[in-house]
Amino acid sequence: MARDHSIQRYRRWYARLLHLYPKLYRERFAEPMEQTFNDLLQDRAKEGRELLVFTLLIFVETLAGILREQTQACFMKSRNIAYIALGTAFILLIPLIAMRFTKEVSWTLFDFVFAGILIFSAGCFFEMARRKAAGNIPYKLGAGMALAAVFLLIWINGAVGLIGSENNPVNLMYAGVIAIAVVGSLIARLRPHGMVRALVATAIAQAMVPVIALLVQPHAVFGEPPGVIGVFALNLFFVVLFAGSALLFRRAHATGSVSRS
């Protein structure tokens, strides 16, 4: 009985120690680690062996693990952000160099800032999803596809506009599509099951945009390039991307091995 109380006490101490692990690691492994620690103590108690010194040794061993994981987390975090920043700079160099050789490419400072923020943000969001995925490949693919869809939607809309020109106010409806994706993802807290709903809603919203545009501003859909077939084809492309992403998140949910944060 006294040993049971000791085991319970040591388990509580161990649970506190596990709080020192990086958040993602803790959310994934703290519970199984605590159970394993408890199993170790239970088996030692059954064999009538002492517990306190053993507990202290496990604490030291776990502290070494905490130090290793914290060091790695700090290193990975700063390294990956640096890689994303470098990648963004490299991509922006392409139009910068092209401008020196051709007048076809003519970017303003605003274009560079806009593209820089967009590419860097996409990279950071993918990094966040990659961490959340924790080895779940359908989750990573789903996140990548959704990010690519949002990225292209903003890029194409900003550059030429999906319906008519980029100045056509009908295109502002796509901000609503992106808002559904973003708000839905936040409500889902990036969990696969919630992401399925968020992306299905996004795909439906995307499909509704050309229909509403056709009702509200038919001349913008019929009269200007890419024309009615082009507008619907472009929107269908994005619907497929969002729906495909939802299917991948559904698969990720079925495998069930993402971080529970």
Partner 1 sequence: MAKSKPPSPLTPAVLHILLALSTRERHGYAIMKQVEEDSHGKVKMGPGTLYGSIGRMIEAGLIRESGKKIDPERNDERRVYYRITGLGQTALAAELQRYREFVAIAQRRWPSPNAIPYGA
**What residues line the site for partner 1 (CB under 8 A)?**
25, 28-29, 31-33, 35-37, 39-40, 42, 57-58, 61-66, 68-69, 130, 134-135, 137, 140, 255-257
The residue length of the chain stands at: 261
**Minimal distance in Å, beta carbon 79 to partner 1?**
13
**Minimal distance in Å, beta carbon 198 to partner 1?**
24
**Minimal distance in Å, beta carbon 37 to partner 1?**
6
**Minimal distance in Å, beta carbon 133 to partner 1?**
9
By beta-carbon proximity to partner 1, the closer residue of 84 and 239 is 84
Please check whether residue 30 is in contact with residue 18, taking contact to mean a CB–CB distance below 8 angstroms.
Answer: yes
Task: Please report the beta strands in the chain, taking only residues with DSSP state E, as ranges in sequence order.
Answer: none
By beta-carbon proximity to partner 1, the closer residue of 41 and 150 is 41
Which string of DSSP letters, residue by residue, matches 134-191?
Answer: TT-HHHHHHHHHHHHHHHHHHHHHHHT-SSSSTT-GGGGHHHHHHHHHHHHHHHHTT-
By beta-carbon proximity to partner 1, the closer residue of 59 and 107 is 59
Please check whether residue 127 is in contact with residue 84, taking contact to mean a CB–CB distance below 8 angstroms.
Answer: yes
**Minimal distance in Å, beta carbon 120 to partner 1?**
20
By beta-carbon proximity to partner 1, the closer residue of 33 and 200 is 33
By beta-carbon proximity to partner 1, the closer residue of 25 and 120 is 25
Please check whether residue 219 is in contact with residue 116, taking contact to mean a CB–CB distance below 8 angstroms.
Answer: no
- Check the CA dihedral 92-93-98-100 and report its sign: positive
